Structure 1
Amino acid sequence: MSTTTAPRLKTSAMIASFADPGQRTASAPFGHALNRLAETDERVVGLSADLAKYTDMHIFRDAHPDRFFQMGMAEQLLFGAAAGMAEVGLVPFASTYSVFATRRAYDFVCLDIAEPKLNVNIVGGLPGLTTGYGPSHQATEDMAIFRAMPNLTIVDPCDSVDIEQAVPQLAAAEGPTYLRLLRGKVPTVLDDYDYTFELGKAKVIRPGADVVFVSSGLMTMRALQAAEELATHKIDVAVVHAPTIKPFDEETVLREIDTPRVAFTLENHTVVGGLFETVASALVRRGVGGRVTPIGLPDAFLDAGALPTLHERYGLATSAIVQKVLGELR
């Protein structure tokens, strides 16, 4: 008698993909989008803090070596140099891991870039729970840190479609931006819907009569998957994708929440200071009633391990979302 066992999951590498097996993906969508933009705009330059390969900046580096600047493991220098380039009319995209951009270089971003409203585009890899390497690399609180910074636009893209369409809009936006980068083999999801990315706008990408999901980042992909599974339970779920966290599209989101439907927020971020609290504060300020249940990461330092295991453990997996909704509706 022979038995088969599932392969043992290994701790995720920094370059691990969160794509499901067999899912359609695009390779390095940020790098290719930046390269296309640079072909039409000679002001575009790229910088990295010794992480070009791991933030897909290597695509731009290899195509435009004269416009790429390797700053070494010095994030404060990275953003200070980017600020100087913006001062003289260039359009810099500066990439590193989100933990280093937010935790290590906050003061430089704040005073060198945000205060003078310079057109510096910060690209942060490994946002939220997209690596298994533990708290030193998991930027579970990056949006909370940056939301308090004046003048800074924050974008949390769902997939390769969002990223490819966001890059030129970020370059054209007034003032600094922060992109929560999904890198490597990034799922392609939103092209199956009547959707285009618009900076500062939320979009209803799936209608539904019973439940409404307001989601950002990779959790929009999971929201759509959960909605399909919940349909087998005769639960009709709407999905509102809100990729721009700041400035936030309160009009669209609150219009969808201010209904008899049961409402949830879904985010790849701690429930402290991210999408949920952005929505909650808008509800209170505008006097909109009703309860909103957050689905997101806990207010804690997370474990290291394999991404599928961690997403199940911390409630980001599709199956966990379905069980959360079913529990709320019982």
Structure 2
Amino acid sequence: MDHLLMDKQETMREIFGETLLQLSMEDERVYVVDGDLANSTKIDVVAEKNPQKFLQMGIAEQNMLSVCSGLATTGLQPWAVTFAAFLSKRAIDQIQVQIAQPNVNVKMIGGYSGLLTGLTGKTHQSLEDIAIFRSLANVIVLAPADSVEVKKMMRFAHQYDGPVYIRLARDPYPVIFSEDDEFQLGKAVSLKEGNDLTIISTGTQTSRSIEAARLLQEGGFSIAVLHMPSIKPLDKEAIVTAVETTGFIVTAEEHSIYGGLGSAVAEVLVEEKPAPMLRIGVKDRNAESAPNEQLLDKYELSASYMANAIRNFLKRNSRQVK
């Protein structure tokens, strides 16, 4: 059955803060470690309601991740929370040497990921974090599509013994999933069936992919949408099945086209089932500050851009197939 975009919208960060507060109260091991962004990431609710579990590290991300590594070695479960840009780039050496290599139980949360970071500009935008974390051995990489999936992923991460990176967005997104839907590590979720092409999307780009598929359906195209919440490990079987069903693959992510979901899917196709493929994401360029819709259009991520790009891709490759 096709999943529908609900009229209801929720912000991932609000739900994240509330859920993390619950976890900190339920489990004595859970500590929340902040990089001086609690108001933006919405973990200030922990500082207010469970202050003994809230550790303020200031604007010192390298030290913050080192502290988290130390806490984990004592049996605690630290949740390091800051912007994705700062987590993935400022503290990468500490993450690799002190968390990934020794495989310690640290949860790393990258807020304000992608393009839409509230007019903060290129210094605060993260278009490389999936690529960076995907390259680190032992690190699970997750990107939820909505607030419901955020809660499911957090509960998984809490039970999982090892480093996990979860990529969160700033602004409200349509609710796609119900409370009955479950998150499974390494498993894709079929959101819409189709015969002509499969869009494989992750994170915030999934709701836009559903909308793009609807726009294409109005033009007579039958488009499947496969949501990939778990980027590492990746659901290789679902990718191969999608190719065998529709023959054409488009990947979609609010991330660089280099090293992220598109690269991961391409690796599977090259090794398992070569097929025509299009990557939708930010090209080889830095972004800038602007309102959300302008950014999505300029950097070719909007649902309307996706629909046009897929239409042209299908026309071009259908001629080649014939």
Alignment TM-score, normalising by the size of structure 2 = 0.91
1:309 is matched with: 294
Name the SS of the counterpart of 1:25 in structure 2: strand
**Which residue of 171, 184, 187 maps to 2:174?**
187
Q: How big is each residue's C-alpha offset from its partner over 1:196-243, in whole Å with a ceiling of 9 and x where there is no partner?
A: 222221111211111211000011111111112221111111111101
2:310 is matched with: 325
Counterpart amino acid of 1:177?
A: V
Q: CA 1:184 to 1:264, structure 2 compared with 1: closer, same or farther past 3 Å?
A: closer
Distance 1:248 1:309 in 2: 31
Name the SS of the counterpart of 1:238 in structure 2: strand
Unaligned 5+ runs, structure 1: 1-19
Query: How does 1:211-290 map onto structure 2 within 5 Å?
Result: 211-286=197-272, 288-290=273-275
Query: How does 1:158-177 map onto structure 2 within 5 Å?
Result: 158-177=145-164
Contact 1:258 1:290 in 2 (8 A): no
1:3 is matched with: none
Count of matched residue pairs = 309
Contact 2:195 2:245 in 1 (8 A): no
Structure 1 position 163, deviation (Å): 0.4
1:96 is matched with: 82
Q: CA 1:184 to 1:289, structure 2 compared with 1: closer, same or farther past 3 Å?
A: closer
Counterpart amino acid of 1:160?
A: S
**Which residue of 97, 118, 127 maps to 2:113?**
127
Distance 1:134 1:182 in 2: 15
Contact 1:155 1:244 in 2 (8 A): yes
Contact 1:118 1:175 in 2 (8 A): yes
Distance 1:227 1:46 in 2: 39
Query: How does 1:65-76 map onto structure 2 within 5 Å?
Result: 65-76=51-62
1:207 is matched with: 193
Structure 1 position 23, deviation (Å): 4.8
Unaligned 5+ runs, structure 2: 316-322
Structure 1 position 127, deviation (Å): 1.1
Contact 2:111 2:170 in 1 (8 A): yes
Structure 1 position 166, deviation (Å): 0.6
Alignment TM-score, normalising by the size of structure 1 = 0.89
2:125 is matched with: 138
Distance 1:183 1:296 in 2: 18
Verify: 1:110 aligned to 2:96, yes or no: yes
Contact 1:160 1:188 in 2 (8 A): yes
1:291 is matched with: 276
Contact 2:113 2:170 in 1 (8 A): no
Name the SS of the counterpart of 2:178 in structure 1: helix
1:6 is matched with: none
CA RMSD for the aligned pairs?
A: 1.9
Q: CA 1:313 to 1:23, structure 2 compared with 1: closer, same or farther past 3 Å?
A: farther
- Name the % identity: 34
